[in-house]
Structure 1
Amino acid sequence: MADGKDNNVQTSVLTKKDLRKAYFNWHMWAESGHSFERMQGMALCRAFCDPLKKLYGDDKEGLKRALKRESQLFNTEALIGASVVGATLSMEESMMGEPEDEKDEAITSIKVGLMGPIAGIGDALDWTVFKPIFLGLACDMALKGSWIGALIAVLFVIGLYYEGRFMFNTGYRLGKRTFSKLLGSSIFQQVILLAGALGLFMMGALGASYVSLSTPLEITFSGQDPIVIQEALDSIVPGLLPLAAIFGVRGLMKKTSNFGLICIIMIVICMIGSFIGIF
């Protein structure tokens, strides 16, 4: 017998208070907890600690896996990018009961695939447009001796907080509704595939930006100008050595999960290469 309720609608476990607390922790730690190894990964994990504890309850192993999943490398603009954070939390809630491998793949792909494009929008609006306008006006009025300049600066910071909270809640609502429809459909797998491809593209761009490696080696033939190895490599594939270094580290990570040992191996290789003139 119909009871007037839609059985397909999932009841929310997380309350508005949980969401407010999650965003507050994200806002406080997004930049202050930044690191080169995981970027904002630890801030995201900190923001999700309490919600995940509530979702998993006594399932300690599931909680460990979720916290490990959310502490992986993540980097976006902290305000408009909070929409990605909200959508991720929504997926964590809506995919409870799904196979863990599927959750790992889906949630990680969505995060990595969306963090770059959303960050571009946030950086362009908040820090390239709004910040110079409002703080420029505040500085001008402060230099003229008006207290309104300080007020504008304070209101700007408060406004940023509520902007981020709005985007977080929007991402949570849209993520919950959208992904509940996608679960179990063929579209879901296509979304994962496309997001994963976009994520690989973004990770490649990050690798090219942060990894720098070159060689001073030259090959000299009698009566001819020396051939500079680095110039030859750049003419074939620019950034070939940094790419090789990334794949080398990836190979080491397949052998061992001891990051300290990997760092020591890299340092030794660099020292030997520098000593014999390869690097």
Structure 2
Amino acid sequence: MFWRSGLLFSGFNVVKMQGNGFTNAMGPAFDDLFKNDLAGKGEALGRANGVFNTNNTTTGLIAGLTYALEKDRVEKQNVSTDTIESLKVSLMGPTAAVGDAFVFNCLRVIIAGITISIAKTGSLMGPLLFIILFGGSELLMRWYLLKAGYQYGTTFIDKVFNSGLLKIITNAASMIGLAMVGAMVATTVSVPLRFSVKFGKTTMKFSNIFNQIMPGLLSLILLFLMVYLLKKGVKPMRLVLGLLVVSIILAFFGIF
């Protein structure tokens, strides 16, 4: 799992982001848990292959925790699939924030500042030191976070199950996950309506009308339309291509 977690971006796409890479990282865990249960393994792979996006270094924490939860679900049957999915989704944002801030924007910048000054002298030690210091520290963090996620995951589940807090944590994680998805929609889905009608010297912009009703209303309508089509069995790639074609046509006529 540790070595595969370094390939998180290898199967990156606009539909599931790092979902394929996360599924690949979870492969050895599912091989261990579902040795003779192909149906159970298929279901677990399906759960892992959802939308996933976080920092590559801190993803080990989520992978280890997911392994621990799946193990408890199989062996003790005290964890639901909803709990596993909710905790995974709710942790993507915090681990991404911590990983990006500390690993990429702090540790990498400090090490690069030191090694660039060495590289300026023409010494090969500059880039080599950067690879060793930054790459090595990233590998160590990913390894220990993976172990911590697995070790504390089983202990965590035992405690919350015995204390009756599992349902509360599941609901809280679900709400956080939904809030995160809603925030992603609000910040990434844009419907720039440019269509307007002139009445004498007055121009009525339809985008202002929709924003007065509710800011981001068109983005929300587009989201629910995509969800509806997905539930009807339309393939994600067809939706992407169809949306691209429709956007080009509407932009050509000045509507968007």
Cα distance change on mapping 1:244 and 1:38 into 2, 3 Å? same
Counterpart in the other structure of 2:208 = 231
Q: Does 1:68 align with 2:46?
A: yes
Cα distance, 1:234 vs structure 2 = 2.9
Q: Give the superposition deviation at 1:211.
A: 1.9
Q: TM-score normalized by structure 2?
A: 0.90
Structure 2 distance, partners of 1:106, 1:152, is 42
Which residue pairs with 1:4 in the alignment?
none
1:180 is matched with: 158
Give 2:80's match in structure 1, choosing from 103, 107, 123. 103
1:233 to partner: Cα distance: 2.4
Contact 1:135–1:152 (8 Å) recurs in 2: no
- Measure the CA separation in 1 of the matches of 2:125 and 2:230: 55
1:5 is aligned to none
Query: Any stretches of 5+ residues in structure 1 without a counterpart?
Result: 1-21
User: How many angstroms does 1:230 deviate by?
Assistant: 1.2
Cα distance, 1:162 vs. partner? 1.1
Report how many residues are paired.
Answer: 255
Q: Give the match's secondary structure for 1:96.
A: helix
Structure 1 position 51 matched with structure 2 position 29: yes
| Unaligned segments of structure 2, at least 5 residues | none
**TM superposition score normalised by structure 1:** 0.83
Alpha-carbon distance in structure 2 between the residues aligned to 1:264 and 1:98:
44
Match of residue 94 from structure 1: 72
The secondary structure found in structure 1 opposite 2:74 is coil
* Mapped partners of 2:105, 2:8: distance in 1: 19
For residues 66 and 146 of structure 2, what CA distance do their matches in structure 1 show? 10
Q: Secondary structure at the match of 1:95?
A: helix
1: CA distance, partners of 2:205 / 2:11: 42
1:131 to 108, 132, 140: 108
| Structure 1 residues 215 and 125, CA gap change in structure 2 (3 angstroms) | same
* Counterpart residue type for residue 197 of structure 1: M
Please show how residues 18-37 of structure 1 align to structure 2 within 5 Å: 22-27=1-6, 29-37=7-15
Identity percentage of aligned residues: 27
- 1:32, distance to aligned residue in structure 2 (A): 2.5
Out of 249-258 and 106-115, give the one that drifted further: 249-258
1:189 partner letter: K
Mapping 1:1-279, distance limit 5 Å: 22-27=1-6, 29-97=7-75, 103-155=80-132, 156-183=134-161, 186-222=164-200, 224-263=201-240, 265-267=242-244, 269-270=246-247, 273-274=250-251, 277-279=254-256
**Hey, what's the Cα distance between the residues in 2 that align with 1:268 and 1:149?**
48
Instruction: Report the AA paired with residue 62 of structure 1.
Output: G
**CA offsets 1:170-198 (integer angstroms, 9 cap, x no match):** 11111111012223653111111111111
Q: In the aligned structure 1, how far is the partner of 2:129 from the partner of 2:183?
A: 37
How big is the shift at 1:235? 4.0
Residue 38 of structure 1: SS of its match in structure 2?
coil
Q: How far off its partner does 1:154 sit? A: 2.0
- Other structure's SS at 1:226 match: strand
State the Cα distance separating 1:141 from its structure 2 match: 0.7
C-alpha separation between the residues in 2 aligned to 1:65 and 1:36?
A: 23
Q: Alpha carbon RMSD of aligned pairs, Å?
A: 2.3
Residue type of the partner of 1:230?
S
Cα distance in 1 between the residues matched to 2:248 and 2:231: 23
- The 2-side partners of 1:178 and 1:232 are apart by 50
CA contact (8 A) 2:60 2:149 kept: yes
Q: 1:207 and 1:48 mapped to 2: Cα distance? A: 27
Q: Output the CA distance in 1 between the equivalents of 2:8 and 2:241.
A: 29
Q: Distance in 2 between matches of 1:30 and 1:125?
A: 19
- Could you say if the C-alpha distance between residues 98 and 238 of structure 1 is closer, same or farther in structure 2, counting changes exceeding 3 Å? farther
CA contact (8 A) 2:5 2:21 kept: yes
